[in-house]
């Protein structure tokens, strides 16, 4: 039981399902997510705003440290604003590829065919800039410490990626470094740190993706079971 100073409510929304249905749901979701691929060839085909809103609502349901929900999402569909973001991102990317990235990192990127040219930032119908709030602000201006903000925003971002994929959209996670230009372009306060720029839309007809594989489950999972 919680303290008398805190209110608890019944967990009425939890829905238990039979084991056979659980197994089928797990298999179906596994197969669905294994079809997800990062896309760089985006169409300018329109996407209804309501779909993006529902996916963001799913992301905003993520667990967070002390339930402080230390995230903010900025949805950009305005052409002029997307162009500003592209120009700023490409400037940072040119510096990255020419001066900042060690050769080992460039070698790791080579199979993906990436470079400093980012036309998808303008062509895709939506960019979603995800910000991590280092601390919050009360209405009177006082600071509120956020606990585990990076982990919390990472979980919310993962849910957003899954929601968009389930809705039938393609995505690209873009992380130019540094990303402080997003604060200036999008008018975000100093307590917010850019976490990731998500490109959202439909792939172009005939889009291709790198011929790469995911690690086998045995390479990434260890089961420690009792005797």
Residue 174 pLDDT > 50, yes or no?
yes
Structure confidence at residue 3 (pLDDT):
52
Determine the average pLDDT of the residues in 158-165. 98
List CB contacts of 56: < 8 A, sequence separation 6 or more. Answer: 73, 75, 128, 160
CA 111/CA 67 separation, integer angstroms: 40
List CB contacts of 44: < 8 A, sequence separation 6 or more. Answer: 123, 124, 125, 201
DSSP-derived pairing of the beta strands 135-137 and 170-174: unpaired
The two tokens of residue 5 are 């100073």
CA-closest candidate to residue 174, choices 151, 196, 203, 207: 196
3-state DSSP assignment of residue 3: coil
CA 141/CA 147 separation, integer angstroms: 19
pLDDT interval class at 50 (50, 70, 90): very high
Fold of 37-204: NADH Oxidase (3.40.109)
pLDDT, tens digit (0-9, with 9 covering 90-100), for 101-127 = 899 988 998 888 889 999 999 999 999
CA 134/CA 117 separation, integer angstroms: 31
pLDDT, tens digit (0-9, with 9 covering 90-100), for 69-90 = 999 999 999 999 999 999 999 9
CA 189/CA 211 separation, integer angstroms: 40
Q: Per DSSP, which regions of the chain are E strands?
A: 71-76, 126-133, 135-137, 143-145, 170-174, 192-201
The two tokens of residue 178 are 């540094």
Confidence (pTM): 0.93
CA-closest candidate to residue 175, choices 159, 191, 153: 153
End-to-end Cα spacing for the chain: 34
CA 198/CA 75 separation, integer angstroms: 9
pLDDT, tens digit (0-9, with 9 covering 90-100), for 180-222 = 999 999 999 999 999 999 999 999 999 999 999 999 999 999 9
pLDDT interval class at 169 (50, 70, 90): very high
CA 222/CA 49 separation, integer angstroms: 41
Residue 4 pLDDT > 70, yes or no?
no
What is the residue extent of each domain of the chain?
37-204
Average pLDDT, the chain: 94
């Amino acid at each position: 039981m919680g303290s008398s100073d805190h209110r608890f409510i019944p967990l009425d929304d939890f829905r238990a399902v039979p084991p056979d249905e659980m197994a089928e749901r797990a298999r179906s979701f596994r197969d669905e997510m294994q079809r997800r691929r990062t896309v760089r060839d985006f169409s300018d085909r329109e996407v209804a705003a309501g779909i993006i809103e529902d996916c963001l609502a799913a992301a905003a349901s993520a667990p967070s440290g002390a339930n402080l929900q230390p995230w903010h999402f900025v949805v950009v569909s305005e052409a002029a604003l997307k162009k500003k973001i592209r120009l700023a991102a490409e400037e940072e990317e040119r510096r990255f590829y020419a001066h900042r990235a060690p050769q080992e990192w460039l070698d790791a990127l080579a199979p993906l065919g990436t470079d400093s040219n980012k036309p998808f930032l303008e062509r895709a119908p939506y960019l979603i800039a995800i910000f991590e709030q280092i601390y919050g602000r009360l209405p009177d201006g006082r600071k509120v410490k956020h606990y585990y903000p990076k982990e919390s925003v990472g979980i919310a971002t993962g849910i957003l990626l899954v929601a968009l994929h389930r809705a039938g959209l393609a995505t690209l996670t873009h992380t130019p470094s540094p990303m402080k230009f997003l604060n200036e372009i999008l008018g975000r306060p100093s307590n917010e740190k850019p976490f990731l720029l998500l490109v959202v839309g439909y792939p172009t007809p005939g889009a291709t993706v790198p011929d790469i594989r995911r690690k086998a489950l045995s390479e990434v999972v260890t089961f420690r079971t009792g005797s």
